[in-house]
Each structure stands twice: as structure tokens, then as C-alpha cells.
Amino acid sequence: MTRRLPPYLGILAALIVVPGAVAAYLLASGHGGAGWGVITAANVLVSLWLAWGLWVWRHVAWVNLVGRVALLTLAAQLLATAGTAAGATSFVTLVLGAWGMGVAFMLGLALLRLAFAGSHPVLGVARTMFDEAIRQKVGLIFVVILVVLVPLLPVFLNDSRLEYRVSNFLRYSLFVTGLLLSIMTILLCTRSVAREVESKVVFTTLTKPIARWQHLLGKWVGAMALNALLLTVAGVGIYAFTKAIAQQPAQDPLDAVAVQDEILTARIVHTPDEAEPGMLARDIGERLERLRQLEPDFYMTTDPVSGQVRPIPFEQLPENLRVPLQAEVVSDWLSVPPRSSRVYRFSGLTGAAEYGRFVQLRFKPEAKGAAPPDKRMQLWFRANGRDLDFYGMENGQLVSKPMPRFAEDKFAVIRIPVEMIGDDGVLDLEVFNGGRGAPDQPRLAFNPAEGMELLYTVGGFEFNLVKAMFVLWVRLMFVAMLGICAATFLGFPTACLLCGLVFAAAAASGYLAESLDQYGAFANEDMPLWGKIIGVPTAFIAKLGEGEYYDAFKVIIRTIGEVFTAFVPALSEYNPAPMLAEGRAVTTDLIGRSLLWVGGVWTGALALIAAALYHRRELAHVQV
């Protein structure tokens, strides 16, 4: 047997051409059976010959890669075939997803190693960081968890409706991916930098012509490359499983349409405006006037100079009076009394017609008061003055149907043809509470947050997933730099703890701010942070003086919380998981903002701190 390439390739060509010619002759001369026999035999021979080649040249990097991919593919094929024969479809799904992730991992790894082949010191450090993660157990364990956990998710999702299964899978898988990678990044970065200083390996590196900031940059680049790789792997897995789940039988035709139109898509969301500008402000003014008469103690003030009693303007009201008033007006506006209607304006819809025939109105009708016995509400819509038909699914086609009764407190979607949108991109939607001739029903309300939205598709699920993964990656930029920064002045365990704390606060920033608001109130919520801090001793002593010891304690806790949240980025604002789960487009605006604030400002600030600390740090310790 030869180990030289030209003879090997010669034999390979012969194995393909000779049986090919023989088979062609046999087929042409009517010996079909013999022809196919030759082709099959030749296929077997060629496969064996190729396998042998892969074995002989397994020490060559790319041959090794091809060999491994081929082996994995073969194994997956065998398992999938067996699974299909046994009728275990979810098993087959798991196998195929894991195969996709494995192949993506191998190819991505090879690609990144190639990218780090350059001869710049930063690339050298990055490559070593990358190898460290892959070869040491920290990185590997997370890779394994990711590869196992993401494929396992669909097994645990058992909602009856397909749309919820798909939606929940997307939500949880993105959440799990983001969380796991963040933890891994923190562990990897803190460990790599802190342990390197601790074990003095850094001596050998930093006595070479590489600046200390370049050393840190290299670490960061390596970690981000690993994150890119793992996000790609996870992305491939999520994509494959989402598609696989979406192919499961839907509960009803509407369910099937919902999966395609409301989840596996990328939609732009518009929230309603006032139909008449200034209407809400006028409403607030009227209510305020009434309140001033009813409760002058709260809504009127006495001028200290002239002694004159005058009303407090809305903007100057304390937050605990102003916010509820505003909320009341908005929720009143978003509700429709029985047997009447209200007009909501959606504007900026000029582009909608480019993307399809319909825009979607997604709403959740809530009954204020006793809900109807069947928990359903009758609604009626007019768009720009024209009655709106309900389009339902029949035999795979959208057909006009009578308006159904909508389940109370559940999201529903109706389609509005784009022709109904005005040329100026405005759609005035009139919502009737109750239908023509319908029985009485209670007041109808929509949640101000997402109770009524107009959506239209601007792109496909695939690209949206890529964008969502990118936003996750941008979040990891911050996390990686956080780990590196902490490790420049702390040991591994302490740095880990600090990073965990900051990350948890950043990821839950939305909830944190909300709960702080509810926990303990400041005298004046509108003050800037420093003002609040200065005011703390006064507030604390005042509470103590009143004998409210617990409240005094709360003031302190609240201040600590405020200061802490002020110094972590609001990562929850850049969370793509719910967007993907609800089929919303991850907008360029969101990507831009995340890049600017998370990837730029926060990561940059941390990088500067890390570079300054590391530059000044004495890396050796007392040894006499």
C-alpha cells in the first residue's frame, strides 16, 4: 500500500472512472441489474479507499478534521436511521441537532485557529486563551452542557399548543445559552488572568515585548472568539430544533398559522398613540383639577413668600402622586366602556405594505368587572373608517370569516389588509366593545405594556436568530471584560464572586429597579443619584426620630441598591430572548444601542480600568 498522494489519487480516480464506464456500458446494453450492482460495489470500494486515506493522513490537520466530521456524520446517520425505523422522531431530532452542533463546533474551531495563525502578540495570547478553554475542563464542561441541554429542551416542553411549544423553546433555549455562556465567560476570564498571575506564568509572557494592555486584550479576544464559536454552535442547535418542533402536528390550523406568522418570523411592533394629540394631557389636567378641589393638602401648596395658596403643576407633583395619576389616565384610555368605542392611532406604517398583504393586530382583551360566562368577549373593529373582516384559515387559505368571540385575558391576533393603511402610514383603529346585537358585557381593557400592538413581518426567522445571537454576543463582550477587569486586582474565587454579583444585577436590572421602587421610597424620587445619597443621613435620622426603625433601615438598603444598580449596565434592556419567542424583529436600533452602550461604553470603561490596574500592578510578590 502506498503512502504517497499521487498514486493514492490515481487509484481513487480509477475506482471512480472504471466502474463508472463499466456500469454505463452495462446500463446502456440493457443489463440494468448488473449495472447497478457495479455502481454499488464501486461506491463501497470508493468509501473504503477514502476512509483508508483519511486514516493514513490523519496527522495532517485538515484530513483529521474531515475524518472526524465524516465519522460524526456516519454515527449520526446510523443513529438517525435506527431512530426512524423505530419511529422515535424526537430521538432522531436530538441526534440530528447534536450532529449539527458537533460539526459546527469542529469547523468553527478550525476556522478560528486559522484566524489566530497571524504573528501578532495579541493573536498569540488570544489563541492560547482559546486553547486553554478548549483543553482545560472549564470550557469543555460548558460545551458539553450546552450540547446536551439545548437538544434536551424540546423533550421537556409539553404545552398542548404548538405555538407555545415553539415559543417557549426559543425563550428557554436562548435564556439557557446566554446564562451558561455568561457563567463560562466569567469563570474562564477570571481564572485565566488570576491564575496566570498566581502561578507566575505571566512572568514569562510579560518579559516579552507585549504591553500589559495587549495581554489583557488578547485574553478578551480569545474569550470572545470562544463565545462566537459556542454561540454559533448553540445557534445551529436552536435553529435545527425549532424547525424540528415546528414540524410537529399543530393542534388546529390556527395554531399552525400562528407558528409561522407569529413566531418563526421577524415583526416590527407599533404601539397605539392618541387619536387626537393632546387628549391624554387634557384628561390629566381635568382630573388634577378635581383632585385639587377634593384634596388640597396634597395638590395645592402655599407660597412661602406671598403666603398665597396655588396649585402644584403636574410636573412638580411628587412621584407617588404623579405616576399613579398618569397610569390611571393611560389605562382609562386603553379601555372601552360597554357598547361604545374608542379610536387608537397607529402611525409610521408606510413601509408595512412592502412586507406582505396583512399587518397583524395582537391584543389581549381583559374584562373589567364580571367576565362573561364563557370567558369570551365580543369585539368589533373599524380601520380608517371601514369595517374590518376577520381572516381565518380554511384549507390552507386565508378567508374572510365572521368576527369570532375572543377569549378573555388571552392574546389574540387579527389580520388587517395593508390596503386599509392610509398613504401617510396612519391607521386609525376603532375598537367597539360588544358587537352589533351582542349581549351586554363588562368594560373592555388592554394592558398598557403590550395589551394592543400592531405588527408586521419585516424578515425571516433565520436572520432574526442570527441577530439575536449577535446581541447575546455583545452582552458577553461586557461579561468577558468584567471577568478580566476583576481578575486584574482580585484572586480567582473573589473575582468570580464579584463578577457573578455584577452580572446578576445587570441581567436582572429591570426587576431590580422595579423592586427597589417598591421596597422603600425616597422623599423625592426625581433627585439625581448624588442628591439621594446626600439626603440619606437626613432621611435615616428622620425615620429614626419617628421611631420607624425598619423604615430607616430600608432607606439604607435602598441607597445601597440604587448605587449598585447605577454602576451596572441594564443588560435586561438588551435581551433578545423574548423578542425571538414572540416573533419580533431584533431591530438594527437595538443592535446599534447594544453595541454602543454595552459593547462600547461599558466594556470600554471596564477595559480602561482593567488596563490601568494591570499596568500599575506588581506581578511578583515578596520572596525573601
Partner 1 sequence: MPHEYYIQCLKLSKVFKDFWMRDRVRAVDEIDLDVRRGEVFGLLGPNGSGKSTTIKMVLGLLHPTSGRIAVFGKPPRDVSIKENIGYLPEESYLYKFLNARETLEYYGKLFHQDRRKRQRRIEMLLEMVGLDKVQRRPIGEYSKGMQRRIGLAQALINDPKLLILDEPTTGMDPIGTRQIKDLILRLKDAGKTVLLCSHLLADVEDVTDRCAIMFGGKVRRAGTIDELLTRHDETTITTHALSDEDEQRLVGLMESAGLADVSVRRGRQRLESLFLDIVDQAQRTGLTTAGAGNTGRVADFLTETNTTAGVGAIAGAGAGGDADDGDVVIQSLVVETPDTDPNGQDENSTAAPATEPDPAAEEASVIEELTGTTAAEAPAPAAPTPTVTPTQPTPPTPSTSGPDPLDDDDADQSVIDDLLK
State which of positions 425-444 bind partner 1 (CB under 8 A). none
Q: CB of 617: closest distance to partner 1 in angstroms?
A: 10
- Residue 109 has a CB neighbour count (10 Å cut-off) of 17
- Contact map string, positions 108 to 127, toward partner 1, x by CB under 8 A: ---------xxxxx-xxx-x
In a 10 Å sphere around its CB, with 0-12 CB exposed, 13-18 middle and 19+ buried, how is residue 622 labelled?
exposed
Residues 6, 47, 67, CA angle at the centre, nearest 5°?
A: 80
Distance CA(551)–CA(567), nearest Å, equals 24
To the nearest 10°, the Cα dihedral for 456, 457, 458, 460? 160
Q: Which residues contact 421 (CB under 8 A, 6 or more apart)?
A: 349, 350, 352, 353, 359, 384, 427
Helix (H) or strand (E) holding 497: helix 492-507
Judged by CB, which is closer to partner 1: 142, or 363?
A: 142
Distance CA(202)–CA(619), nearest Å, equals 8
Q: What are phi and psi of 387, to 5 degrees?
A: -60, 145
Q: CB of 518: closest distance to partner 1 in angstroms?
A: 41
Q: CB of 184: closest distance to partner 1 in angstroms?
A: 17
Distance CA(454)–CA(403), nearest Å, equals 18
Q: Does 135 bind partner 1 (CB under 8 A)?
A: yes
- Residue 566 has a CB neighbour count (10 Å cut-off) of 12
Which of 209, 304, 313, 385 touches partner 1 (CB under 8 A)?
209
Judged by CB, which is closer to partner 1: 131, or 462?
A: 131
Q: CB of 125: closest distance to partner 1 in angstroms?
A: 8
Judged by CB, which is closer to partner 1: 360, or 488?
A: 488
Judged by CB, which is closer to partner 1: 135, or 310?
A: 135
Q: What are phi and psi of 445, to 5 degrees?
A: -140, 155
Which of 62, 87, 160, 199 touches partner 1 (CB under 8 A)?
199
Q: CB of 220: closest distance to partner 1 in angstroms?
A: 17
Judged by CB, which is closer to partner 1: 128, or 167?
A: 128
- Binding part of the chain for partner 1, among 129-137, 238-246, 303-311, 574-582 by CB under 8 A, reads 129-137
Please give, one letter per residue, the 3-state secondary structure of 75-115. Answer: HHHHHHHHHHHHCCHHHHHHHHHHHHHHHHHHHHHHHHHHH
Q: Does 205 bind partner 1 (CB under 8 A)?
A: yes
Q: CB of 208: closest distance to partner 1 in angstroms?
A: 4
Task: Answer for the pair 174, 577: CB distance below 8 angstroms, yes or no.
Answer: yes
Q: CB of 569: closest distance to partner 1 in angstroms?
A: 32
Judged by CB, which is closer to partner 1: 248, or 494?
A: 494
Which of 26, 108, 132, 485 touches partner 1 (CB under 8 A)?
132
Which of 22, 72, 115, 206 touches partner 1 (CB under 8 A)?
206
Q: How many Å separate Cα 527 from the centre of its chain?
A: 33
Q: CB of 68: closest distance to partner 1 in angstroms?
A: 18
Judged by CB, which is closer to partner 1: 306, or 623?
A: 623
**362, β-bridge pairs:** 413, 453
The number of residues that bind partner 1 (CB under 8 A) is 33
Which of 43, 136, 340, 515 touches partner 1 (CB under 8 A)?
136
Residues 281, 285, 288, CA angle at the centre, nearest 5°?
A: 135
Judged by CB, which is closer to partner 1: 123, or 157?
A: 123
- Contact map string, positions 157 to 196, toward partner 1, x by CB under 8 A: ----------------------------------------
Distance CA(84)–CA(92), nearest Å, equals 7
Q: CB of 257: closest distance to partner 1 in angstroms?
A: 52
Q: Does 618 bind partner 1 (CB under 8 A)?
A: yes
State which of positions 571-590 bind partner 1 (CB under 8 A). none
Which of 1, 85, 370, 622 touches partner 1 (CB under 8 A)?
622
Which of 170, 174, 202, 230 touches partner 1 (CB under 8 A)?
202
Judged by CB, which is closer to partner 1: 125, or 352?
A: 125
Q: CB of 222: closest distance to partner 1 in angstroms?
A: 12
Q: CB of 118: closest distance to partner 1 in angstroms?
A: 8
- Binding part of the chain for partner 1, among 48-56, 104-112, 202-210, 268-276 by CB under 8 A, reads 202-210
Q: CB of 526: closest distance to partner 1 in angstroms?
A: 43
Q: Collapse the DSSP code of 325 into the 3-class scheme (helix H, G, I; strand E, B; otherwise coil) and give the result.
A: helix
Which of 1, 208, 373, 588 touches partner 1 (CB under 8 A)?
208
Q: Collapse the DSSP code of 410 into the 3-class scheme (helix H, G, I; strand E, B; otherwise coil) and give the result.
A: coil
Q: CB of 140: closest distance to partner 1 in angstroms?
A: 11
- Binding part of the chain for partner 1, among 140-148, 206-214, 477-485, 514-522 by CB under 8 A, reads 206-214
- Residue 295 has a CB neighbour count (10 Å cut-off) of 11
Q: Does 203 bind partner 1 (CB under 8 A)?
A: yes
Q: How many residues does the chain have?
A: 624
| Of 269, 266, 604, residue with least CA distance to 452 | 269
Q: CB of 231: closest distance to partner 1 in angstroms?
A: 23
Q: Does 131 bind partner 1 (CB under 8 A)?
A: yes
Distance CA(472)–CA(177), nearest Å, equals 9
User: Over the range 409-420, which residues count as b (16 or more CB within 10 Å of their CB) and which as e?
Assistant: eebebbbbbbeb
Strands 405-407 and 376-383: antiparallel
Task: Answer for the pair 54, 70: CB distance below 8 angstroms, yes or no.
Answer: yes
Q: CB of 216: closest distance to partner 1 in angstroms?
A: 14
Supply 223's cell numbers: 474569550
Task: Measure Cα distances from 621 to 26, 203, 212, 484 in Å.
Answer: 82, 12, 18, 20
Which of 211, 321, 412, 612 touches partner 1 (CB under 8 A)?
211
Residues that bind partner 1 (CB under 8 A): 117-121, 123-125, 127-128, 131-132, 135-136, 199-211, 618-620, 622-624
